[in-house]
Amino acid sequence: MARETTPTSSTTSEQQLPHELRRDITVWGSYMWGYADVGADIYAALGLVIAAAQGAASLAFAVAGIVYIMIGFAYTELAATYPVAGGGHYFALRGLGDFWGFVAGIALLLDYTIDIALFAVASAGYINFFLPYFGIQPEHYVWIVGPLSIHYLWLVESLLLILFLIWLNIIGIKESSMFNELIGAFDITIESSVIVLGFLFAWKPDLLIHQWQMSFPTLHQFMYGSSLGIISFVGLESISQAAQETKRPATIIPRTSVTLIFTVFIFATAFSSLSLGVLPWQTFAQHVGDPIATLAHAIPYVGLIAGPITALLGATILLISANSGVMSASRLTYSMSEFKLLSKWFDKLSAKYRTPVRTIVVFSGIGILEMLLSFLTPQAMDTLGNMYAFGATLGYLIVFIALIRLRFSDPYTPRPYKMPLNVKIRYKDRLVDFPVLGILGFLGVGMVLFEVILTHKIGRIAGPAWVLLGIGYYIYFRKTNGMQVTKSIERNWEEHQMDVLVSAEEFDLAEEYRIALKERDEKLKKK
């Protein structure tokens, strides 16, 4: 009977992953890395989804949210089981091999670079809420170049924000995480206040019902809106990207991830239901850049101060979401380089800060390029949102396949957390917990990806083009370095996993894993 692990590599460097990133992220820091990315999404997505789904925007958010919950469960299990940098790319690499590990990585890398661009632009949009108080009308700062209208003030603001985040992430993960924690705590407080005060003083259920009845979208509009709704929930992977820098990740990640899943779901559905019960959907369609500030400003008694406070909140929380994009893109490419899916040039760390400076600069630079190109289209945020949804859904689809495969191919690794709803089936003389929610999640993400391809004109062209360009690089890189394109490099995953658990100081899990492998080996000897 053959072992269920990949054969040992011929070189030590291929067997082990150097654990050079500092474990500086605490429980609150881990939660805030996720919240900084996911929690901010509603600030960018609310106006886009309401403009598309109109009176059924709440339903669009709910549909996307249900899919997101299943995605969240999958990432919680995988990140707690394999607490290393790389997230979805690493899970696909372990479960499906090098090629699919690369495809998942390149899809999620599109997501992260767009994250940097989209949320920097959205943050600058909320900053523009204050400019009229200083006699500056942002809409007047426009270059007309033929058929193009380039909002150059908005563009410059976004560029400066990204440059600031590049500097912050080069300094170190601890400083970057502290930035997230402080602003995130302020955000949760204000978001909760807006929801409570909105429902108490401004919400009109009859207006919500009226818009549901009179402004229900067509099927195409609803599909477009619900596919954009996934933007509100993208970013949970930030926790897994920071897993290699998280203290006691097998204990911390399940707590933070599950809490985050339901926090964000409640916020997203509450904001969409509140919005349609306070103002007509057309108002939000006209304020795509600052929808939450528009909502807060309409609340009686507190609207005069709630609007500016919420705009400040939106600007800051979106900035830390862009910050999560910088961190995730750099850690993802660092991991891909370590596993020979990208050039080794990308895995070099700064001698002073011990951060992957090269990946931070290069892929944040790609985010800047994507931002510049988006300003050449009629609606920069909608263009970036199209691309964002494609990268996320493709990556998540591969991750669900990897999760199911790993339940069978790697049954000995301890799983501190498992997705709910499992059915035991027998596989190779073992009982394996088959993840029913994994299948449902795969189908749900597949539905959203179908909606993206069907309804997003830019996403269905630029997204696949990005992936194909990445695959072209992968083929070139592997061939020029004497590696096979269609086959995976041989690695000793068992030794690697033990190294990961020890590095994470998860000594109980390491011992449990050692015992499981020993029992397996004894059974094999008897046969």
In contact, 237 and 41? CB cutoff 8 Å: no
Query: Can you give the pTM of this predicted structure?
Result: 0.82
- Per-residue pLDDT, averaged over 504-516, amounts to 91
Q: pLDDT by residue (tens digit) across 263-282?
A: 888 888 999 999 999 999 99
The CATH label, of 3.40.120.10, 3.30.1300.10, 1.20.1740.10, 3.40.50.300, for the domain at 12-416+432-526 is: 1.20.1740.10
Top-confidence residue, 522 or 379: 522
pLDDT, tens digit (0-9, with 9 covering 90-100), for 308-327: 888 888 888 888 778 878 87
Cα separation, 132 vs 130, in Å, equals: 6
Least confident of 54-58, 173-177, 342-346, 414-418: 173-177
Residue with tokens 């027998």: 426
pLDDT at 477 (0 to 100): 95
Mean of pLDDT over the chain: 84
pLDDT tens column, 381-423 = 888 887 888 888 898 999 999 999 999 999 999 999 999 999 9
SS3 label, residue 485: coil
**Angstrom distance (rounded) from CA 375 to CA 154:** 9
Question: What local confidence, expressed as pLDDT, does residue 28 receive?
Answer: 64
Helix (H, G, I), strand (E, B) or coil at 341: coil
Report d(CA 80, CA 255) in Å as an integer. Answer: 10
Start-to-end C-alpha separation, the chain:
8
Predicted local distance difference test score (pLDDT) of residue 517: 93
Q: Which H helix or E strand runs over 308?
A: helix 303-338
Residue 201 — pLDDT band, cuts 50, 70, 90?
very high
The residue behind tokens 């609606």 is 379
CB-neighbour burial class of residue 164 (10 A; exposed 0-12, middle 13-18, buried 19+): middle
Contact indicator for 9, 490 with CB cutoff of 8 Å = yes
Bridge partner list, 455:
none
Which residues, other chains included, contact 18 with Cβ-Cβ below 8 Å and sequence gap of 6+? 338
- pLDDT score at 22: 52
Q: Is 69's pLDDT higher than 80? A: yes
Identify the residue with better confidence: 242 or 1.
242
pLDDT of residue 333: 84
Nearest Cα neighbor of 50 from 248, 250, 274, 264 is: 274
Rounded Cα distance, 510 and 213, in Å: 57
Six-digit token string for 392: 């996320």
Residues 6+ apart with CB under 8 A from 450: none
pLDDT, one tens digit per residue, over 142-194 is: 887 777 778 889 999 999 999 998 888 887 655 555 666 677 777 788 888 89
What is the structure's pLDDT at 139?
77
Contact yes or no for 502/23 (Cβ under 8 A):
no
The identity of residue 335, as a single letter, is: S
Residue 97 pLDDT > 90, yes or no? yes
Token code pair at residue 288: 């795509």
pLDDT (average), residues 517-521: 90
How high is the pLDDT of residue 78? 93
SS3 call for 494: helix
Looking only at the bridges linking them, the beta strands covering 422-427 and 430-435 are: antiparallel
Burial pattern 136-149, b for ≥16 Cβ within 10 A else e, equals eebeebeeeeeeee
The two structure tokens encoding residue 376: 């050449």
What is the signed CA dihedral for 262, 264, 265, 267, rounded to 10 degrees? 120
If one counts every other C-beta atom within 10 angstroms of the C-beta of residue 7, the result is: 11
Q: Quick: pLDDT tens for 13-53.
A: 344 444 445 555 556 666 766 676 666 778 888 998 999 99
Summarised one tens digit per residue, pLDDT across range 233-249 is 766 666 666 666 666 77
Per the CB < 8 A criterion, the answer to whether 118 and 384 are in contact is: yes
Query: Domain coordinates of the chain in residue numbers?
Result: 12-416+432-526
Query: How many whole angstroms separate alpha carbon 310 and alpha carbon 293?
Result: 5
Is the pLDDT at 463 greater than 50? The verdict is yes
Q: Residue type at 131?
A: L
Distance CA 377, CA 381 (A): 9
